[in-house]
Amino acid sequence: MIKIAIFSFKFLGKLLFVYFIYIVISSILIFRIYKPIQSDYLKEHSVERFFGENIGNDRVALLEERKISEIARINIIENSKDTLDISYYSIKDGVSAEIFLGSILDAANRGVKVRIILDGITNYSNSVRNTFVTHPNIEIKLFEPINFLKPWSWNNRLHDKYIIADKSVAIIGGRNIGDRFFTPDNYKGLITNDRDVLILNTNTNYDSSVIKEMSDYFTEVWNHKYSIYPSTQLTKSQYDKAKDYEKYLNENLKKLEEIIPDKFNNDINWLEQTLPTNKITLIHNPLDRLNKEPWCWYEITNLLEKAEHSIFIQSPYVVPTKQMLKYIDRNKITASDVTILTNSVASNPNFFAASGYLHKRKKIVDTGAKIYEYQGPESLHAKTVMIDNRITLVGSFNMDSRSTFLSAETMVVIDSVDFANQFKNEVSNITNKSLLVSADYSYQDNDNTEKLKISLPKKIILGILFLITYFIQYLL
């Protein structure tokens, strides 16, 4: 018996080692080798389509402040009458998630037809999934649920974050659903600053609206072979727990409406709160596995090359790899004013991305662009590009290889001088809390902002990761 046990243990060890090698090859190394499929995408999508000559039907509101952004989400869900289409990368436990989920459930109880698609790895709450599965007015799908036999699928993540209500109003941006993005009362954890936009279609015929583009894209993702219905075959115990959680969400929502009434039942006239636009256009990545053809990056680089005067880029993570830079003709970047705003290494909570940025920091500074690094106690998570104080892109796309080649991503391209001016005013509050990097890579003196110190444990971890991420920048 002892010999059999020893043999079984050794066999199991060998099997795990083989599986480990299989994971390394098929979830890491394959992405270094595999080349994206090349299509006629650029020939079929010219940069001129982002510009409009006249005022269009879509209006837009900037949702910068955390609590306002949460109120906007609650408001459009509360006022939905027919449909809600919702797509999110991450929903984390907490008060904000309970309000969000409770509001969705309340809408479904009123008869609103809800479709919600979540990333299959970052959203795996059995209670939420089973509760929604049992509701007659809610359909839920998971994009690329974890499959231990297909490690190459692990990097194909649904990074989108948007809501479409009644095909007339939508919210899209960089915020996930979690307390750190909305900071409810008495919240003591890490705080993340982000950005969304609310889009209002003022024409009942929405064929010319970006909301139709968003709805069509949602349907494409929804019907895709990688989007899977979770099992509806629940055990009695699972069903009972789902119904208990449904009851909790319903009762908790009513309780929260009494405790924090300012978040609910707000009479908001979005026509008055929004700004006019010439045009809004959706861009997104393909849904393929392995390295994708970089559709969003195509569009962004084309706009950068078209810029005549100014380029502004804000991204929490800036890790421009050699593969990404192949898509930019630097001789065509003629704008004299180029500014990049990102997290400092000290403020960046993503250690892998921070170590990747350290590899690229000097080269980015050497381009001559003005680099601002945020020094606040919170972190930045917003993703925005502005061209010539007219075109503004807002969405989920980070300036890194993961957003470029690996994840499903969405951005809206907004042609509006009014919106660009509003954005400039808001973002100045962030640059005032940031430090400009000098040509010698040190910070320029600023009496109003102090350099944020890096803790010793973080320095040690970053030092270790710096050695590792040099070889896997294509996965950051």
In the structure, what pLDDT confidence band is assigned to residue 5 with cuts at 50, 70 and 90?
low
Quote the CA–CA distance of 469 and 476 in Å, as a whole number. Answer: 8
Mean pLDDT of the chain: 93
What digits encode the pLDDT tens for the residues 266-306?
999 999 999 999 999 999 999 999 999 999 999 999 999 99
Q: Do domains 41-50+279-475 and 58-271 have the same CATH topology?
A: yes
What digits encode the pLDDT tens for the residues 180-189?
999 988 898 8
Using alpha carbons only, what angle is made at residue 429 by residues 210 and 366, rounded to the nearest 5 degrees?
Answer: 85
Q: 58-271 has which fold? A: Endonuclease; Chain A (3.30.870)
What digits encode the pLDDT tens for the residues 20-30?
999 999 999 99
Distance of CA 449 to the CA centre of its chain: 28
What digits encode the pLDDT tens for the residues 434-466?
999 999 999 998 888 999 999 999 999 999 999
Residue 11's pLDDT is: 76
Quote the CA–CA distance of 71 and 78 in Å, as a whole number. Answer: 10
* CATH superfamily ID and name for 41-50+279-475: Endonuclease Chain A (3.30.870.10)
Residue 44's pLDDT is: 82
Average pLDDT in the 354-381 region? 95
167 contacts 55 by C-beta, under 8 angstroms: no
Domains of the chain, by residue range, sit at 1-33, 41-50+279-475, 58-271
- Whether residue 342 has pLDDT greater than 80: yes
What digits encode the pLDDT tens for the residues 383-416?
999 999 999 999 999 999 999 999 999 999 999 9
The pTM (predicted TM-score) of the whole model is: 0.95
- Whether residue 9 has pLDDT greater than 80: no
In the structure, what pLDDT confidence band is assigned to residue 2 with cuts at 50, 70 and 90?
low
Place of tokens 């309340």: 106
Residue 153's pLDDT is: 94
For 84, the token pair is 């809600």
- Whether residue 113 has pLDDT greater than 90: yes
What digits encode the pLDDT tens for the residues 17-75?
888 999 999 999 999 999 888 888 877 888 999 999 999 999 999 999 999 999 999 99
- Whether residue 235 has pLDDT greater than 90: no
What digits encode the pLDDT tens for the residues 119-161?
998 875 777 888 999 999 999 999 999 999 999 999 999 999 9
